[in-house]
Amino acid sequence: MGNKGKVYLAGAGPGDPGLITVKGLKCLAEADVIVYDHLIDQGLLSGTKEGAELIYVGKKAGAHTLSQEEINAILIIKAEQGKMVVRLKGGDPFILGRGGEEAEALAANNIPFEVVPGITAAVAAPAYAGIPLTYRRLSSSFAVATGHEESSAISKLASDTLVFLMGVANLTSIASKLIEGGLSPATPAALIQWGTTPRQKVAQGTLGNIAFIAEKENITPPAVLVVGKVVELRHKLSWFEAKPLFGKKVLVTREEGKIRKLQRLLKLEGAWPIEVPAIKIEATPDQYLRDIILRFPDFHWLILTSVNGVQALFNHLYRNDMDARKLSNLSICAIGSATAESLRQHGLVADLVPTQYTSQGILDSFRERGIDGQRVLLLRSQLANPDLPRGLLRLGAQVEEAAIYHVLPASTADEETQRLLAQEKIDMITFTSPSTVKGLMALVGGDVAILNEAVVACLGPVTADYANKVGLKVDVIAERHTMEGLVEALVKYGGESGLS
């Protein structure tokens, strides 16, 4: 048998994918096999290398995909095949998980392994709820215990702050045993559900009533119980739930692969982004683009209207052993700061970036420069609005258009998208272009009513105009036509409307 591989027992953190360690991310990016748990954020799996094998071994109450012995066997078998294996576990692998048992099984079979610690929910969930586990004068120690199994040892815990993981099912028993052990029924207590995520929900009370409050507020696993005086600090220190878009379910409709930036910006404001790619981008055939590029010397101006256009152009150039020198004779107009930045990444600085991203704003910029008699090549999608080339013709330019990429609906009517909108109570829907409106309409079978139940937000007036034409009620139009501007507009709308 060849060289053995290696297993990394890695903690994924408590729920917020941003809380995984740098080393944990590096292991995921290099892994041949990833064996992952139930509560792992799926976004962590999107950065794996091509061809990596993903094996789900999730466990939740009453539903175990595989036994612990079977999980151990997978780790051993894959490592013996010479593969780098990441065993991705929620929280920290050694804190109230089975990481120690997995390490023991690997050691017994002479499998090399490393432990990559993770942030445990025992610490992170209280922090995101505004509850410090230690605080001068209130708590100089804390203890972490499992609440999954009933134990007489619970009554003997003696730290200032007590944290229980997996204790929802036994909450009444835990509270009773702590009171029997000498804690007052008036001791502050909090139960934190889905801690560190936009789904976070906190039930706060005392040992005497926390079980009643949790049932009343329908707190279910996963949840962390915190007991101690530090819970009282929550009313002053709660920060995560104070974010302007906290808990709002926002449907993100950009094309697949372009959703991540908007998702990240929304998460920074506390939102819960739900990814529904409404369109897909297809490259124009190489021969068509090759013929256009050969004619670049015939033009004075090149207009690129989107990041997609820049990427499509340079993908073709690089694929055919060409580079930015092919554009050396052209003045370049980039529509939007994101398009201009995309050009910069390829070593080009746009000669013109209109301040207004509407057709009229672009035409005003060219009117000031003077474009009469000049030849203009407009590279964009096949769905683009005809107002811009018509306006350029009126200014005296000679205009030629070419579809450098094609925008297509992601699919026809989609049951999962309809279910999301009907059952998940989507709060907001974002549209970044008319094509995303058209694509989502196709996914819901043209059901305008179901979309109008949410706040509809559009990136700029062109998108808003199209949305209005198809019957959508547009609530938000971003003044700045960027992803940052769209999120700013949603935050502003939420504050002004009192959306909660």
Using pLDDT thresholds of 50, 70 and 90, give the confidence band for residue 53. very high
High-pLDDT (> 90) share of the chain, %? 64
Report, as an integer, the average pLDDT of 157-182: 91
Look at residue 191 and tell me whether its pLDDT is greater than 50.
Answer: yes
Q: Which of 4, 23, 59, 229 is catalytic?
A: 59
CB 272 within 8 A of CB 302: no
Whole-number pLDDT of residue 499: 64
Domain-embedded: residue 342: yes
Domain-embedded: residue 1: no
Q: What is the pLDDT of residues 110-151, one digit of tens each?
A: 999 999 999 999 999 999 999 999 999 999 999 999 887 665
Look at residue 225 and tell me whether its pLDDT is greater than 70.
Answer: yes
Regarding whether 272 and 288 lie in a shared domain, the answer is: no
Q: What is the pLDDT of residues 309-318, one digit of tens each?
A: 999 999 999 9
Residue of 45, 39, 3 lying closest to 24 (CA atoms): 45
CATH of the domain at 389: 3.40.50.10090
> If phi over 0 gives left and psi between -120 and 50 gives alpha, with beta otherwise, what is residue 332?
beta
Whole-number pLDDT of residue 358: 75
Report, as an integer, the average pLDDT of 354-362: 81
Whole-number pLDDT of residue 450: 87
The answer to whether 166 is a known catalytic residue is yes
Regarding whether 417 and 404 lie in a shared domain, the answer is: no
Regarding whether 164 and 79 lie in a shared domain, the answer is: no
Whole-number pLDDT of residue 1: 45
Regarding whether 142 and 113 lie in a shared domain, the answer is: no
Q: Which of 6, 16, 32, 37 is catalytic?
A: 37
Q: Which domain holds residue 257?
A: 249-278+410-497
| Number of domain units in the chain | 4
Q: What is the pLDDT of residues 198-209, one digit of tens each?
A: 999 999 999 999
pTM comes to 0.83
Q: Which of 16, 32, 89, 166 is catalytic?
A: 166
Whole-number pLDDT of residue 147: 85
SS (H, E, C) 365-386: HHHHHCCCCCEEEEEEECCCCC
Q: How far is CA 157 from CA 14, 140, 180, 388, in A?
A: 24, 14, 11, 72
Whole-number pLDDT of residue 496: 72
Q: What is the pLDDT of residues 1-24, one digit of tens each?
A: 457 899 999 999 999 999 999 999
Domain-embedded: residue 438: yes
Query: How many CB atoms are located within 10 Å of the residue 199 CB?
Result: 12
Look at 75-84, 265-274, 275-284, 431-440 and tell me which has the smallest mean pLDDT: 275-284
Q: What is the pLDDT of residues 380-437, one digit of tens each?
A: 888 777 888 999 999 999 999 988 888 887 765 567 677 777 777 899 999 988 889 9
Regarding whether 204 and 112 lie in a shared domain, the answer is: no
